[in-house]
Amino acid sequence: MKKLIQLIQIAKRDLNMDDDVYRANLKAWAGIDSTTKMDKKQLDKVIKGMEKLGFKKKKPVKRKIDQALLDKEPRLKKLGQVWTMMKAHKLLENGSYIALEKWCVKQSKSLNDGKEIERLDWMAPISNELIERLKRYHLRLMKQAMTVKIAAVLRYYKDLDMESLDDSTEMFAVQTKLQASRLNIPVNMQRARYLTILHAFEDCNEFIKRFGISVDQAKEAGNAKTS
């Protein structure tokens, strides 16, 4: 309703309509000479009347938020890097910078004396707090996802042909398995900090990517021979 009233005021201004003519038109179109007393149906009638007089709605211009905007401020750049990492980890439904701005706007209210900061590039004064909050959010999402990843690593490791691996690959596999085993203990997962979980998350992803398909194929081949 508020947006419709604002649109009518814009139409009045664009059409250079003086107050007497404006109120007469409201009365003719909606039966009331005040938009604040109108319901949505009446407001729609007024807008249609304005359009017949030549008013054209302007499409809102989408503001571009890109890396160049964030690069202007080092702390905002860091904020964008954490968000981009979360997107790469497939932890976000919408990994765009527009979505980051919306998240930051919501957070800004509690960091700015109860007032929302409307644009991402205006948030430099609270950027440190936003980074820490975003990292905590990232940590929470990674821990939620780690349960499945740890189970996959331990399952694939059990069936891995270690003799076929070179030394560096074998070392990576062993270290990732040990890391997964430690975090498979609930108290260790609970106490683990951001960088520990971040490294473990990425190592588990890499382990599954490297060995998951080959282990599954080997098992399928073995099952085919025995059937």
Residue 42 in tokens: 């009446």
SS3 (DSSP) at 57? coil
Separation of alpha carbons 112 and 108, rounded Å: 6
Instruction: Specify whether the CB–CB gap between 65 and 73 falls below 8 A.
Output: no
Residue with tokens 């498979």: 184
pLDDT beyond 60 at 57: yes
pLDDT beyond 90 at 19: yes
- Model confidence pLDDT, tens digit, residues 66-122: 788 888 899 999 999 999 999 999 999 999 999 999 999 999 999 999 999 989 999
pTM: 0.70
Q: What is residue 220's predicted lDDT score, i.e. its pLDDT?
A: 55
- Model confidence pLDDT, tens digit, residues 182-191: 999 999 999 9
Give the DSSP letter string of 154-223.
HHHHHT--GGGS-HHHHHHHHHHHHHHHHHTSHHHHHH--HHHHHHHHHHHHHHHHHHHHHHHHHHHHHH
Q: Binning pLDDT at 50, 70 and 90, where does residue 60 land?
A: low
How many Cα atoms sit within 13 Å of 38 on the Cβ side?
Answer: 23
Which CA distances in Å does 50 have to 16, 23, 29, 53, 130? 11, 12, 10, 5, 44
Q: What is residue 80's predicted lDDT score, i.e. its pLDDT?
A: 95
| Per-residue buried b or exposed e for 76-97, using 16+ beta carbons within 10 Å of the residue's own CB | bebbbebbbbbbebebbeebeb
How many Cα atoms sit within 13 Å of 161 on the Cβ side?
Answer: 9
Count other Cβ atoms within 10 Å, centred on residue 108: 22
Average pLDDT, the chain: 91
pLDDT beyond 90 at 133: yes
Instruction: Specify whether the CB–CB gap between 85 and 139 falls below 8 A.
Output: no
Q: What is residue 66's predicted lDDT score, i.e. its pLDDT?
A: 77
